[in-house]
Amino acid sequence: MGLWRAMVERVARAGSAQALNVVAFSGGVDSSVVAALVYEAFPRNSVACLGVSAALPADQLGLARKIAGEIGIQLLETPTTEGEDPLYVENRGQSCYHCKTNLRGSVDKPFLFNGTNADDKLDPTRLGLIAASEFRVVSPLEDLSKAHVRALANERGLLNWNFAASPCLRSRLAFGVSATADHLKRVEAAETFARSFLQLAPQDNLRVRFLPQNHAAVELDAARHASVTSEERNTLAVHCAELGFAETVVRPFRSGSLSLPPPPGLTH
């Protein structure tokens, strides 16, 4: 428990024994580790804050509630209004920044923590990190790789220590596909069906990407993608068509595959 104890002490130095210590929480492994650290350092004056909007899948909300309960930290579910911001909805590369600004602006507390890790800092598309710096959010895991964070979570006994990452639904939308509640709900419904139909475990990566021209891409880990049958592809395509997608492809999962703008001429 050497590293864990050192991390608790680091959090204790960064937070406050008197004021409220707030963790930006998603139910993912990174924010779960930070929530556990902050709660251990400040068991009487810490809370986890979860932004609730159309970009949060229902199953992720359920997981967040379960993880917070196991840690013991109080969970505040805070409705956010990024969907009312035209700059967020237009999804032209700045949505993450506007979303995080909205969330942190709605939490009027002096000590804020998030789950940013060292790998996140290498990703230039994570503009939410700029918002975090503007609000002076503390990132206790910023020097640890994702692998080290997962090891810490396993050491702490967090049930999601090896779960696949599950970023917000807006990240599934291609550049320029508007981040409306309808588009987000269509992606969520498609992913819910695909995960159940393909019998994927929480550790398995799955993304349904909302592509330009109303197309969809179901992304699976390489091994599962290689084993997809023509019948499974057809069933996925039929279900996506029922949700309003014009065409669906099944392809290998690649993190951040929608980070860059599309070629000229492709819009929604």
- Does position 163 have pLDDT exceeding 80, yes or no? yes
Across 253-259, average pLDDT = 76
Across 33-56, average pLDDT = 96
| Of the candidate ranges 56-65, 135-144, 148-157, 243-252, the one whose mean pLDDT is the lowest | 135-144
Other C-beta atoms lying within 10 Å of the C-beta of residue 267: 11
Topology given in CATH for the domain delimited by 1-156: Rossmann fold (3.40.50)
Across 156-183, average pLDDT = 94
pLDDT band at 80 (very low <50, low <70, confident <90, very high): confident
- Does position 158 have pLDDT exceeding 80, yes or no? yes
Convert the pLDDT of each residue in 60-77 to its tens digit. 999 999 999 999 999 999
Q: Which residue bears the tokens 């959010």?
A: 137
Radius of gyration of the chain (CA): 19
State the Cα angle at 176 between 174 and 178, rounded to 5°: 90
Q: Is 140 helix (H, G, I), strand (E, B) or coil?
A: coil
Interior/surface letters 44-54, b for 16+ CB within 10 angstroms, e for the rest: ebbbbbbbebb
H-helix or E-strand spanning residue 49 = strand 46-52
Please give the mean pLDDT across all residues of the chain. 88
Q: Which residue bears the tokens 């556990």?
A: 36
- Does position 189 have pLDDT exceeding 70, yes or no? yes
Distance CA 225, CA 74 (A): 39
Distance CA 15, CA 229 (A): 52
The answer to whether the Cα torsion of 92, 95, 96, 97 is positive or negative is positive
Instruction: Take residue 163 and report the two structure tokens written for it.
Output: 């779960």
Q: Which residues contact 202 (CB under 8 A, 6 or more apart)?
A: 160, 163, 164
pTM attached to this predicted model: 0.86
- Does position 32 have pLDDT exceeding 70, yes or no? yes
Q: What percent of the chain has pLDDT over 70?
A: 84
pLDDT at 91: 82
**Residue ranges per structural domain of the chain:** 1-156, 169-252
Distance CA 115, CA 23 (A): 8
pLDDT at 203: 97
DSSP secondary structure code for residue 262 in this structure: P
pLDDT band at 130 (very low <50, low <70, confident <90, very high): very low
Q: What percent of the chain has pLDDT over 90?
A: 72
Convert the pLDDT of each residue in 196-209 to its tens digit. 999 999 999 999 99
pLDDT band at 252 (very low <50, low <70, confident <90, very high): very high
